[in-house]
């Protein structure tokens, strides 16, 4: 949840305020979408919601805790246990196999090697990549890589997954596969999703859409049941 959130880049004459008094609430088990033109502050807001960047002014709370009061260690721990991040550029570790990328964080969560492997395979099954478990990222298509990135975030069993333009550069079929995975996780595991996107197709699956313009939240729209992936626009 954010209250009167402000954020600016640069100083003095070069200062550019990108978020101007954002009040936002992310509900549990809901797919939330941030939309807006380039430079509207979507990525910055996503970074702040994902505890990657501290707010300069205003309040951000996560599961009832004011993030300003958290130490670096506590923030790292929250990111590890409660949040998962997926990026447009995937950012997988190219020298690790799909299963190794997926299970990367699990030992830090206290899982043994065997437990991590089991959970990794289970997660890969959910994103349809079990057959590719021992391949390197370079052997996969863009969509498959994105699914590995999702699996990596998902294997931690976080409360919230944040995704910055997760379907940009992907074709419609691949986007649908990824959105299907999101929907299933939301419905079965109650995982919340927050993503920024320009993709109108992806938007149609969101339960809540927040539109940003020049750093301000100009509209928040709630929707009913999500549409089925693959349905015509």
Partner 1 sequence: MDQPNSSTASKAYKIHIGVTITTWVHLAWRSLFRNKRRTFASLCTVAFGAAGLLIYQGFNEGIMNQYRENTIRVRYGHGQVFPKGYLQKKFEEPWKVWLENALQSPQSSGAGEATEPDVSTTSVAPGVVTIEEKLRRIPEVQEVFPRVSFYAFLMKGGVTLAGRGEGVLSERESKFFSAMNFVAGGDLGSQGDARTGLILGKGLADSLNVKVGEPLTILSQTVNGQLNGVELAVTGIFHTGSKEFDDTFFRMELPTAQSLIDTQRVELFSLATGGVEDWPKVAAAIRETLPEVDAEPFDELDKVYYRNAVEFLDAQFAFIRSIMLLIVALGIFNTIATGLFERAGEVGALRANGESRRRVFAILSVESALLGLLGGLLGIAVAVVLNATLLAQGIPMPPGPGITRQFLIFLEIQPAHFAQALLLPAITTLLASIMPIRRLVKMSIPQLLRANL
Binding region for partner 1 (CB under 8 A): 44, 47, 50, 52-53, 72-73, 76-81, 83-85, 87, 89-96, 104-105, 107-108, 113, 149, 152-153, 156
Cβ proximity to partner 1, 1 vs 104, nearer residue: 104
Residue 59 beta carbon to partner 1: minimum distance, rounded to whole angstroms: 20
DSSP string, 205-230: T-SEEEEEETTEEEEEEE-SSPPPTT
Cβ proximity to partner 1, 30 vs 78, nearer residue: 78
Cβ proximity to partner 1, 134 vs 172, nearer residue: 134
Residue 76 beta carbon to partner 1: minimum distance, rounded to whole angstroms: 5
Distance CA 161, CA 83 (A): 6
Cβ proximity to partner 1, 34 vs 209, nearer residue: 34
Other C-beta atoms closer than 10 Å to the C-beta of 155 total 27
Residue 110 beta carbon to partner 1: minimum distance, rounded to whole angstroms: 9
Distance CA 140, CA 102 (A): 14
Residue 166 beta carbon to partner 1: minimum distance, rounded to whole angstroms: 13
Distance CA 129, CA 125 (A): 6
Q: Are 148 and 129 in contact (CB under 8 A)?
A: yes
Distance CA 108, CA 209 (A): 34
Q: Are 203 and 7 in contact (CB under 8 A)?
A: no
Residue 134 beta carbon to partner 1: minimum distance, rounded to whole angstroms: 14
Cβ proximity to partner 1, 1 vs 87, nearer residue: 87
């Amino acid at each position: 949840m954010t209250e009167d959130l402000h954020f600016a880049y640069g100083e003095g004459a070069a200062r550019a305020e990108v978020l101007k008094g954002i009040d936002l609430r992310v509900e549990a088990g809901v797919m939330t979408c941030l939309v807006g033109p380039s430079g509207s502050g979507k990525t910055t807001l996503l970074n702040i919601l994902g505890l990657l960047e501290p707010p300069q002014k205003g309040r951000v709370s996560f599961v009832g805790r004011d993030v300003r009061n958290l130490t670096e260690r506590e923030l790292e721990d929250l990111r590890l246990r409660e949040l998962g991040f997926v990026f447009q550029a995937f950012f997988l570790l190219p020298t690790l196999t799909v299963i190794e990328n997926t299970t990367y964080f699990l030992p830090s969560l206290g899982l043994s090697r065997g437990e991590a492997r089991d959970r990794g395979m289970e997660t890969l099954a959910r994103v349809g990549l079990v057959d590719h478990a021992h391949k390197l990222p370079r052997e996969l298509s863009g969509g498959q890589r994105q699914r590995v990135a999702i699996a990596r975030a998902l294997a931690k069993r976080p409360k919230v997954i944040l995704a910055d333009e997760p379907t940009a550069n992907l074709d419609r079929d691949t986007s649908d596969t990824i959105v299907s995975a999101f929907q299933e996780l939301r419905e079965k595991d109650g995982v919340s999703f927050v993503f920024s996107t320009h993709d109108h197709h992806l938007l149609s699956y969101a339960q809540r859409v927040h539109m940003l313009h020049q750093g301000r939240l100009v509209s928040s729209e709630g929707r009913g049941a999500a549409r089925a992936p693959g349905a015509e626009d």
